[in-house]
Every structure is written in C-alpha cells, then in structure tokens.
Amino acid sequence: MRILVVGGAGKMGCIAVQDLANDPRVDEVILADVQMDQAQIVADTIGSPKVHLQKVDFLKDPDGFTAGLRGADACLNATNYTFNISVMEACLAAGVGYLDLGGLFHVTRQQLQLHDRFLAAGLSAVLGMGTAPGITNVQARFGVDQLDTVESIKIYDGGRHGAIKEGRFTYAVPTIIDEITLEPIIYRQGKFVSCQPLSEFEDYWFTHPIGLLPVHLSLHSEVATLPLTYHAKGLKECFFKIHYWGMPKGMIDDIQVLVDYGFSGRDPIQLGDREVAPRQVMMALLSGHVPPITDYLAPAETQPPDWVQEMATEVRGQKDGQEVVYKVSTLTCKSALPTGVAPAVAAIWMAEGRLPPGAHAPEQVIDPLPFFKELQGRDIATQVSVTQLRY
C-alpha cells in the first residue's frame, strides 16, 4: 500500500505521515511538499524507512505533480484548503483517490460538484476528514443512525491548553485568520444563514478535566454537508462552535485589532512602486508564530499534562415517539493528533477499496464503530451518552 501525503511537511500533514508510517498495513508513505528542508526534518524525526520524500509544486508544475501521484493508492491532501480543487483535479488526471482536511464550507461546496467526475472515474474522494470536520461528521452519523427523525446537530470544540505559549497559533495561520474574519454559515429553521464572526456565545460543559468553556460560532465544513445529507430525516438546525480556536482570548483580541485596521484586506494597496495586499503582510508577519514541527511529532507522554481537546456532537431527534439526545464526544491529549490520524485511517480504508467512488462527505462513507475503534487504538477515545427528554 502506497499513500502520498501532499503538504506532509506541514503541521497537520506530518502527523498523518507519522501515523501511516507506523501502520503495518502501509508499505510506503510519500511525503510530498515544496519545503524540502522541513520535509527532511519530519522524515528524520519519524525515522521510518517507509517514508520517502518527493518535491512537488502543484501551482508551478501541475503536470509534474500529476506524474508524481501516479502509482499511489490514495492521496491525502494536507495543504491549505484553498488548494483543494487543484489537488482534486490532479488526482482525477492521475487516477488516484483523494481526501482532505476540510474546505471551510465554501470550498467544500465547490468540491461536491466534482462528484460525478470521480464517480465516472471509479475514484473515491472524502471531503473534510480531519478532526473537525471529519471526526465530528462521523459522530453526527452515529447519532443520526440511532434516530427515526432528526431535529438538530450541534457541534462543539473545546480544550484546555494551559501550557500553550502566548502568541502561538494552534494550526495553519491563514485558516485561523479566515475563521476569525469570515461570516459563519449555520443551518437554522431549514435554511442556511450567515452570522457574525465570534457571535452567539454559550457556555458548554466539556468532559473533565476541560470543564465549562465559552464557545462561539465559526465557519466550518460540517455545516456545508450535514444538512444536505440528513435533509430527508427532517434536520432543521446545524452549527459548529469552538472555544477561541484553541488559543488564549487575548491573542484573538490582538488579531481582531489588526483585522479592524484593515490588515486582513485582500485588495492590493500601493506601497512605493509596488502593490501589496495587506493580508499578505499580515500572513508573513504571523507565519513564524507557530510551534516547531518537532512539537507536533513528539510522543504523547512528553506532551503537557493539561493539554486536552474534545470534540462533542449532540444529535437531537425522535426515536419511537420519544425525544432523545445522543451526545458523541471524542477526547485526546494532543490537539494536533486526531487531525492527522483521522485522515490517515480514511486513506488506508480508501487504499483497501472500502470507500465507494464519488466525492462524499465523511458522514456518507465512514462507518462510525470501526472508525472509532481505530481511533481508540491510538488513544483517541470516543464515548456516547443518551438522554431521553421528558416534559
């Protein structure tokens, strides 16, 4: 089994490379990236003979990237979500199955339009198979499968990161900035609605030792697919809420100041004899404020004891005339870990031929119980609680 991870030298991709290299079902992992210095650090840190490096630049050399894909049993795309469609097109040309970590709602919607082409090619594509989206979609499916009708799917993401340093981003800087600045889309009363960023706060009880945290709306890909998948079951409400993207509130406030002063603007401005988009300057200045790549690959036992993350999905509906809430939650001691592990598991399933052709959301093709069992084998625990509502 040969799996290619494009963006494998990145903060999430490196976890997928590590997990695949440690899985006995996988014979070879191709770490494909444009940053070969960082790719070498990842390979040296993992220290597996299964990992081989491949320099790719799908923007400047798409034909070379397509050629490098050929012979892979699956392509795991861990690049920024804005490149998802470009990588999907290369996979179609190379005849290789595809999966990614999410498309921040709008790109996911565009990717769904490639379903017929993947179906005709006999290829599988799974859209948004990280932690959230990904694990959360599979949680939602588990709850929905237990019910006759579904009223709401509410997704919550929170954690305690007491050891995180001020000024450090928890994952890709461009994606976090987009999640801070772009309007969240939610599904309410059977319609998609735009809301204000950082709005509709509520306090949510996560599993001990996380406890009570404030959470707010954020633009996310689960809401792009779950209302479509479960429309026939009567779904009327769906949203995703998170606790400050895993970062200190003060850091979010600082970023918001930059946004308020126009530093997230995409339209170029004239600076001397050059035109520069303010967002480019902002990204360049903030991109160094992330933990070193070796932090993401460190063994769990060396992680701070107060670094805990949970994704919880509450599905409310009717079963045999009784109103019921299924809460499915997944807990981990390292927030980056499930984002890389979940797509690694799905990539193996894809390579094994377990996923149908076409472009699908995770809830459509990932069987919850065997998937949760694979996560459990990596110390990522999922639990279910059921509440019958009485009035």
Give me the helix-helix angle, 249-260 and 173-181, nearest 10°. Answer: 70
Domains of the chain (ranges; CATH) run 2-129+336-376 (3.40.50.720), 135-335+379-388 (3.30.360.10)
* pTM for the model: 0.94
Which comes out higher in pLDDT, residue 168 or 349? 349
| Per-residue pLDDT, 297 | 75
In tens, the pLDDT along 158-195 reads 988 755 566 678 777 888 899 999 999 999 999 999 99
DSSP of 69-95: HTT-SEEEE-S-GGGHHHHHHHHHHHT
* 3-class DSSP assignment, residue 32: strand
Spatial distance between the Cα atoms of 76 and 16, rounded to a whole number of angstroms: 8
| Per-residue pLDDT, 337 | 79
Q: What are phi and psi of 7, to 5 degrees?
A: 80, 25
Average pLDDT over residues 89-95: 98
Give me the helix-helix angle, 36-46 and 13-21, nearest 10°. Answer: 40
Phi-psi map region of 59: left, alpha, beta (phi>0 left; psi -120 to 50 alpha) = alpha
DSSP classification of residue 233: G
- CA atoms lying within 13 Å on the CB side of residue 318: 8
Spatial distance between the Cα atoms of 271 and 268, rounded to a whole number of angstroms: 9
- Which distant-in-sequence residues (6+ apart) come within 8 Å of 74 by Cβ? 3, 4, 96, 97, 98, 99, 347, 348, 350, 351
Which stretch of DSSP H or E encloses residue 358? strand 358-360
Other beta carbons within 10 Å of 285: 12
Residue length of the chain: 391
| Per-residue pLDDT, 302 | 54
Contact assessment for residue 130 and residue 12, using Cβ atoms and an 8 Å cutoff: yes
For the ranges 164-173, 194-203, 302-311, the maximum mean pLDDT occurs at 194-203
Residue 89 CB-density burial (10 A; 0-12 exposed, 13-18 middle, 19+ buried): middle
| Per-residue pLDDT, 11 | 85
| Per-residue pLDDT, 299 | 63
The angle formed by the CA atoms of residues 336, 133 and 188, to the nearest 5 degrees, is: 140
- Residue 198 structure tokens: 């950082």
Average pLDDT over residues 136-149: 98
DSSP classification of residue 303: S
Which comes out higher in pLDDT, residue 333 or 60? 60
| Per-residue pLDDT, 334 | 64
> Taking Cα atoms as reference points, which of 223, 233, 146 lies closest to residue 188?
223
Omega before 209 cis (within 30°)? yes
> Residue 332: beta bridge partners?
309
The angle formed by the CA atoms of residues 194, 196 and 202, to the nearest 5 degrees, is: 105
Helix intervals (H) in 76-181: 84-94, 106-112, 115-121, 135-145, 173-181
| Per-residue pLDDT, 170 | 76
Whether the CA torsion 344, 182, 220, 114 is positive or negative: it is negative
Spatial distance between the Cα atoms of 343 and 156, rounded to a whole number of angstroms: 20
Residue 145 CB-density burial (10 A; 0-12 exposed, 13-18 middle, 19+ buried): middle
> Residue 119: beta bridge partners?
none
Which comes out higher in pLDDT, residue 368 or 335? 368
Number of H helices, E strands in the chain: 15, 18
